[in-house]
Amino acid sequence: MTLEKWQEIIGKIKDKFRVENHEMIKSDEAGGEDIEAIVFHGPLGRIKLEFISKPIVLDKKTTYSKRIGSQTTVEYVYGQEKINKLRVYRWDEGQNDWLEMEAKNLNL
């Protein structure tokens, strides 16, 4: 999913459906992950879309010792390029929680 396609989807959702919440979440963890989430009421009920943008992991360095009781640490090396991912959730009244759906099965 590209950023341009995501912006197009957001525009269509705002034009056709009632938007409940639209927010941006920026996290400094994992190299700087950005999540843009929108919750709206569509034909399938209450739907939540998350567009996740995070840097590519270039390398993973593990530091450890063979001594008993020593700690193992993992350090990630991130690149400048970012990868994008789309997650789709549907609200389930019975479980009172979001259930993840397959994004590839939707006609976005």
3-state per-residue secondary structure call for the chain: CCHHHHHHHHHHHHHHCEEEEEEEEEECHHHCEEEEEEEEEECCEEEEEEEEEEEEEEEEEEECCCCCCCCCEEEEEEEEEEEEEEEEEEEECCCCEEEEECHHHCCC
* pLDDT of 23 above 90: yes
How does pLDDT run across 9-19, given as a tens digit for each residue?
Answer: 999 999 999 99
Q: What are phi and psi of 66, to 5 degrees?
A: -85, 5
Comparing 31 with 24, the larger pLDDT belongs to: 24
Rounded to the nearest integer, the mean pLDDT of the chain is: 86
Q: Which of 39-43, 48-52, 99-103 has the lowest mean pLDDT?
A: 99-103
Q: What is the pLDDT of residues 80-97, one digit of tens each?
A: 888 899 999 999 888 889
Percent of the chain at pLDDT exceeding 70: 94
